């Protein structure tokens, strides 16, 4: 088994306003190259905040994040950008940039800040747009694209960054079923190629099918962490989501679940 | 998407170097035009000769001493004041629009104009409006406004956040304007009219000293922003994405706000507030060369210089024979506002 590439110990994040509240509570976590980890849980349990702490975007109140044993804060911005890439839920671009120009920005960590993009940058960008299925929109303005198309451009941008750690916040939220499954397979391929992929996911079926590991979060903690089928069992789902679910293997041999009709009683 | 390229779209594919060369030639042509026309016509060849002589390129004395004086001491300083003021305002406007992610941001968004106006009025009220005292006071006022706003935003722990900057800018501008109104009540009629004349923004009677005040800051700020061009592009994807792409978002933000505000402060203190250049030129240039900052800063610098030169030329040609002293700020607004409205309607039509 390879050494952990991303670790954190005792991550706590508290906010004082409007009321004192603990968003993340003593989270310890470590992940290895080649893993694809789904972070699941109901709204407001701190999934996105946790992902942002791992990305170095939110400074935790306590605890630290390390990449290859080195504290996140000891990385220079560009150095970090060659280790870790991050996809927010949505990206609004105010001006008429072409999709290709946005994807090329993913090459920034490798580019000299004055020189024009190299042929290699252009080739990588083209390849990434093909992978993220947005090459048809390459010459269009991102401002005119639909939410799903725009997100695929941002995914191509993230692929162009080509980092060993990939953090995705709700990658498939605005995608139709064809693109959603295509992008999930793409995430899986990144992990198979030896990258560490961590995704915040609401779709438990997708999590069970593509993830090598699932972390279930509840009130700022990871309450279950491990093999998807073990983590996503009925008891955990009832505890974390407060709903009664019945899990089963569907005719295609995949993990699946149904919510029970009568949910009147509160758990 | 239509397959044929309009001239506008093809310009978007021009290389940076080609844009620079084209801009330089356009600027040179406009400069010669501006020096040539006026109450006395000067042939372009004479202008080129005396410019070359002034730069020390040619040793021979020009035949016509009068036109040499007219060109070097009267028309050229005014022309160069227009070039640097126009370029500087457009550069600052480009930076602010990018930073605030809003094409309606203008260079004076951080209360620069209000601060400069108060400073200028103080200079006038104390009777110290000699040719460099007024710019000095105006600059001090503008600087005070900018520093208070940046200080407020840092003190609130949200350094460089755009909403905080805008709100603080509004508050400080309102406060400075109130002080200005208060002083105006106490001022004499002559002081009030001098002040109002200053607020119209003008380039009349500007000397080489004024040009010198602006030249270095415009070139320096322009170069520093140009070097950060790609960072500014990436910042448009939002702070989070920018940071994970290796852009020091906060640092870039503060540096840009500071550079653009100081640049505006210097120009406003020399020329008075000239409206619309910093708002409209970056907007037009973005339509022509695209939103990428390096191309846009370059195009805006040339575009701003040419726009202000032409506005000043029009001002001189219309007003001077009639003995009126019209300010260039009036022309920029008269030309800029309708054009801006047309742009607005057109962009609403195409974007739905």
pLDDT in tens, B140-158: 998 899 888 888 877 776 6
Mean pLDDT rounded to a whole number for chain A: 92
Interface test with B, best of A90, A92, A99, A108 (most B CBs within 10 A): A108
Residues A84-109 pLDDT 10s: 999 999 898 989 999 999 999 999 99
Alpha-helical regions (H) of chain B: 7-11, 16-36, 44-54, 65-69, 76-99, 112-125, 133-155, 162-186, 189-199, 208-227, 229-235, 239-244, 249-271, 277-289, 293-319, 328-351
- How sure is the predictor about B10, in pLDDT bands with cuts at 50, 70 and 90? low
Predicted model pTM: 0.89
pLDDT at position B61 is 62
- In-domain check, residue B2: no
Q: Which residue from B minimizes the CA distance to A107?
A: B245
Split into its structural domains, chain B has a count of 1
Contacts with A17 (C-beta within 8 Å, 6 or more apart), sequence order = none
Q: Is the dihedral of CA A20, A21, A27, A31 positive or negative?
A: negative
Q: What is the pLDDT of residue B352?
A: 44
Q: How far apart are CA B108 and CA B173, in angstroms?
A: 10
Q: Read off the CATH number of the domain in which B77 is found.
A: 1.10.3470.10
CA angle A130, B290, B267 (to 5 degrees): 145
- Average pLDDT for A132-139: 94
Residues of B in contact with A140 (CB under 8 A): 1
Q: Do the Cβ atoms of A57 and B244 come within 8 Å?
A: yes
On whether the CB atoms of residues B274 and B89 are closer than 8 A, the answer is: yes
CA distance A266 to chain B (A): 38
Q: Name the more confident of A101 and B187.
A: A101
State whether the Cα torsion A220-A226-A228-A231 is positive or negative. negative
Closest partner CB to B244 (pick from A81, A114, A116): A81
Chain A residues whose CB is inside 8 A of the B1 CB are: 139-140
* pLDDT, tens digit (0-9, with 9 covering 90-100), for A167-177: 999 998 889 99
Parallel, antiparallel, or unpaired: how do β-strands A70-71 and A84-87 relate? unpaired
Cis before A18? omega within 30: yes
Measured in whole angstroms, how far is the alpha carbon of residue B333 from the centre of its chain? 13
DSSP secondary structure, A133-190, as one string: T-GGGTTSBGGGS-HHHHHHHHHHHHHHH--SEEEEESTTTT--HHHHHHHHHHHHHH
- For the record, the structure tokens of B335 come out as 């030309």
Q: For B213-220, what is the mean pLDDT?
A: 94
Range B166-174 average pLDDT:
88
Is residue B30 situated within a structural domain?
A: yes
Place of tokens 């057109």: B346
Phi, psi (deg, nearest 5) at residue B62: -70, 150
**Is A73 in the B-facing interface, judged by CB distances under 8 Å?**
no
State the smallest CA–CA distance between residue B247 and chain A in angstroms. 6
Q: B102: pLDDT confidence band, cut at 50, 70 and 90?
A: confident
Is B297 an 8 Å CB contact of chain A?
Answer: no
Residue B69 lies in a domain: yes
Confidence of residue B53 (pLDDT cuts 50, 70, 90): confident
Average pLDDT over residues B231-255: 92
Burial B102-137 (b: 16+ CB within 10 A, else e): ebebbbbbbbbbbbbbbbbbbbbbeeebeeeebbeb
- Stretch among A21-25, B57-61, B222-226, B252-256 having the lowest mean pLDDT: B57-61
Contact status, residue B223 vs residue B95, Cβ threshold 8 Å: no
The residue with greater pLDDT, A227 or B74, is A227
CA-based R_g, chain B, Å: 21
Alpha-carbon gap: A74 to the closest alpha carbon of chain B (Å): 13
C-beta separation of A139 from B2 below 8 A: no
User: Element (H or E) spanning B202, and its range?
Assistant: none
Residue listed under structure tokens 């004024």: B210
- Nearest CB partner across the interface for B233, out of A105, A116, A139: A105
In chain A, residues with a C-beta closer than 8 Å to the C-beta of B233 are 97, 101, 105
Tell me which of A2-6, A42-46, A77-81, B314-318 is least confident: B314-318
- pLDDT given at position B1: 38
Q: Is the CB of A83 inside 8 Å of chain B's CB atoms?
A: no
* Pairwise CA distance, residues A196 & A55, whole Å: 13
* pLDDT higher than threshold 80 for residue A262: no
CA–centroid distance for A223 within its chain: 19
What sign results for the dihedral spanned by CA atoms A85, A90, A96, A98? positive
Is B89 contained in some domain? yes
Predicted pLDDT of residue B128:
67
- 3-class SS letters over A123-143: HHHHHHHHHCCCHHHCCCEHH
Q: Given a cut of 60, is residue B287 above it in pLDDT?
A: yes
Q: What is the DSSP string of chain A?
A: -PPPSEEEEEEEEEE-SSS-EEEEEEEEEEE-TT-EEEEE-STTSSHHHHHHHHHTSS--SEEEEEETTEEGGGS-HHHHHTTEEEE-S-----S--BHHHHHHHTTGGGS-SSSPPPHHHHHHHHHHHHHTT-GGGTTSBGGGS-HHHHHHHHHHHHHHH--SEEEEESTTTT--HHHHHHHHHHHHHHHHTT-EEEEE-S-HHHHHHH-SEEEEEETTEEEEEE-HHHHT-HHHHHHHH---EEEEE-TTS-EEEEE-S---S--
Domains of chain A from N-terminus onward: 1-83+164-267 (3.40.50.300), 93-162 (no CATH)
Q: What is the mean pLDDT of residues B243-256?
A: 91
Query: CB distance B231–A109 less than 8 Å?
Result: no
Q: Which of B349, B253, B263 is nearest to B300 (CA)?
A: B263
Residue B169 is predicted with a pLDDT of 87
Rounded Cα gap, residues B278 and B103, in angstroms: 11
Distance CA B75, CA B66 (A): 12
**CA–CA separation, B151 vs B172, rounded Å?**
12
Residue B101 gets which letter from DSSP? T
- Determine the structural domain holding residue B286 and report its residue range: 7-351
Torsion of Cα atoms, B20 then B21 then B22 then B24, to 10°: 80
More confident residue, B45 or A156: A156
**Model confidence pLDDT, tens digit, residues B11-23:** 777 888 889 999 9
**Which comes out higher in pLDDT, residue A74 or B45?**
A74
Contact of A65 with A54, CB cutoff 8 Å = yes
Q: Is the pLDDT of residue A216 over 90?
A: yes
Q: Is the pLDDT of residue A145 over 80?
A: yes
Quick check: A105 and B245 CB within 8 A? yes
Q: What is the ipTM of this complex?
A: 0.91
Q: Give pLDDT, residue B82.
A: 95
What gap in Å lies between CA B106 and CA B99, rounded to an integer?
A: 11
Contact at CB, B240 and A111, closer than 8 angstroms: no
Whether residue B1 lies inside any domain: the answer is no
Does residue B18 belong to the interface with chain A, where contact is any CB pair within 8 Å? no
């Amino acid at each position: 088994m390879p050494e952990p590439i991303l670790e954190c110990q005792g991550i706590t994040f508290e906010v004082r306003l409007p009321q004192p509240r603990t968003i993340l509570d003593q989270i310890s976590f470590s992940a290895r190259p080649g893993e694809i980890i789904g972070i699941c849980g109901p709204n407001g349990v701190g999934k996105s905040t946790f992902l942002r702490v791992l990305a170095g975007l939110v400074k935790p109140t306590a605890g630290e994040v390390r990449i290859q044993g080195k504290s996140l804060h000891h990385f220079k911005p560009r150095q970090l950008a060659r280790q870790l890439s991050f996809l927010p839920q949505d990206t609004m671009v105010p001006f008429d940039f072409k999709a290709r120009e946005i994807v090329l920005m993913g090459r920034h960590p490798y580019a000299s800040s004055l020189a024009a993009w190299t042929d290699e940058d252009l080739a990588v960008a083209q390849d990434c747009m093909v992978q993220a299925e947005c090459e048809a929109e390459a010459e269009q303005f991102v401002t005119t694209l639909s939410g799903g198309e725009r997100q695929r451009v941002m995914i191509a941008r993230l692929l162009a960054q080509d980092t060993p750690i990939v953090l995705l916040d709700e990658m498939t939220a605005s995608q139709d079923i064809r693109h959603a499954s295509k992008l999930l397979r793409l995430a899986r391929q990144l992990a198979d190629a030896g990258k560490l992929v961590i995704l915040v996911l609401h779709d438990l079926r997708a999590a069970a099918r593509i993830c090598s590991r699932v972390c279930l979060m509840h009130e700022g903690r990871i309450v279950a962490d491990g093999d998807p089928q073990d983590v996503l069992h009925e008891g955990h789902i009832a505890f974390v989501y407060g709903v009664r679910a019945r899990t089963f293997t569907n005719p295609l041999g995949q993990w699946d679940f149904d919510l029970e009709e009568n949910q009147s009683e509160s758990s | 998407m239509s397959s044929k390229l309009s001239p506008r779209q093809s310009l978007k594919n021009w290389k940076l170097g080609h844009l620079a060369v084209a801009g330089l030639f356009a600027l040179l042509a406009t400069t010669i035009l501006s020096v040539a026309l006026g109450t006395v016509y000067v042939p372009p060849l004479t202008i080129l000769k005396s410019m070359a002589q002034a730069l020390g390129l040619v040793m021979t004395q020009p035949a016509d001493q009068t036109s040499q004086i007219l060109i070097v001491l009267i028309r050229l300083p005014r022309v160069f004041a227009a070039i640097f003021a126009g370029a500087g305002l457009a550069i600052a406007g480009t930076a602010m629009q990018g930073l605030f992610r809003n094409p309606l941001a203008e260079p004076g968004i951080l209360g620069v104009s209000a601060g400069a106006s108060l400073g200028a009025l103080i200079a006038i009220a104390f009777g110290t409006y000699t040719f460099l005292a007024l710019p000095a006071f105006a600059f001090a006022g503008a600087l005070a406004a900018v520093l208070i706003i940046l200080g407020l935003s840092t003190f609130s722990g949200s350094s460089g956040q755009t909403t905080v900057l805008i709100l603080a800018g509004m508050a400080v501008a309102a406060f400075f304007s109130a002080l200005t109104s208060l002083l105006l009540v106490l001022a004499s009629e002559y002081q009030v009219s001098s002040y109002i004349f200053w607020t119209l923004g003008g380039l009349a009677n500007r000397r080489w000293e004024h040009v010198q005040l602006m030249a270095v800051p415009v070139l320096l700020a322009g170069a520093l922003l140009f070097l950060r061009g790609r960072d500014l592009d990436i910042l448009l994807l939002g702070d989070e994405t920018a940071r994970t792409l290796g852009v020091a978002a906060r640092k870039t933000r503060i540096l840009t706000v500071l550079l653009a505000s100081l640049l505006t402060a210097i120009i406003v203190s020399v020329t008075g507030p000239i409206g619309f250049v910093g708002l409209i030129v970056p907007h037009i240039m973005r339509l022509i060369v695209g939103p990428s900052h390096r191309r846009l800063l370059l195009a805006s610098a040339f575009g701003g210089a040419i726009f202000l030169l032409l506005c000043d030329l029009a001002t001189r040609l219309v007003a001077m024979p009639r003995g009126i002293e019209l300010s260039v700020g009036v022309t920029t607004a008269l030309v800029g506002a309708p054009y801006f409205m047309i742009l607005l309607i057109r962009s609403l039509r195409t974007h739905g």
